[in-house]
Amino acid sequence: MAKQYRILTAAAAAIALTFGTAYAATSDAPTAPPPGGPAMMGGHGGPGGHRMEMRMQKQLDELHGQLKLNADQEKLWQTALTTMKQNHQAMRESHKQMRDQFKSMESQPILDLNAMHAAHQKIEAQNAQLREQTTTAWLNFYNALNDQQKTTVSTALKKHFAKMHEHEQKMHERWGKRGGPDGAPGAAAGASATAKP
């Protein structure tokens, strides 16, 4: 039962991710991406984040064109899109507030790590709620599709998964080359030092 729930949760998260949760979760704050989401290269304000937004918007536009939505489905699409964009903006603003708060705390001779942690936890909880709203809006849209439209979405998902997997493999290869044959920096040096009498 727990395994089935994990699979369903992962599938729902993947659908929402492909539809634009990744776009909504992108931010210029140096926090970790949402669980199950790809690591975002470049912040929202930087060239990497802007390119990713443009790519995501292009994918959404292409998918929208392929789906041939009826009037009710179109309303759900627009609701999901609006929710995603508004939540994305809200997340950016909350991260900016957190950065400003941390900057003001840095001037104190003794850092209040408890206050910093509490501020971070509060932002993370708010952002989790916003991501859940975005996911729910996209799932409401997805559930209103017919089987042919869901097949179109599934095809887009599979392509997205393949690209994510390919990107992940490339990242592992890069890190492996930097860190030596077993991927651990300085492992060879450590082994030779241990071998000395």
pLDDT digits (tens, 9 = 90+) for 27-39: 333 333 333 333 3
With a CB cutoff of 8 Å and minimum separation 6, the contacts of 42 are: 48, 49, 50, 51, 52
**pLDDT at residue 140 tops 70:** yes
With a CB cutoff of 8 Å and minimum separation 6, the contacts of 15 are: 138, 139, 142, 153, 157
Alpha helices in the chain (DSSP H): 2-16, 22-25, 47-67, 71-106, 113-143, 147-179, 187-195
Distance CA 169, CA 38 (A): 12
Residue 143: what pLDDT? Answer: 97
Reported confidence tier of residue 192, pLDDT bands at 50, 70, 90? very low
CB atoms within 10 A of CB 135: 24
Reported confidence tier of residue 135, pLDDT bands at 50, 70, 90? very high
Residue 134: what pLDDT? Answer: 96
Compute the chain's Rg from CA coordinates: 21
Stated pTM of the model: 0.65
Residue 92: what pLDDT? Answer: 92
Residue 177: what pLDDT? Answer: 76
Please tell me the number of Cα atoms within 13 Å of 10 on its side-chain side: 8
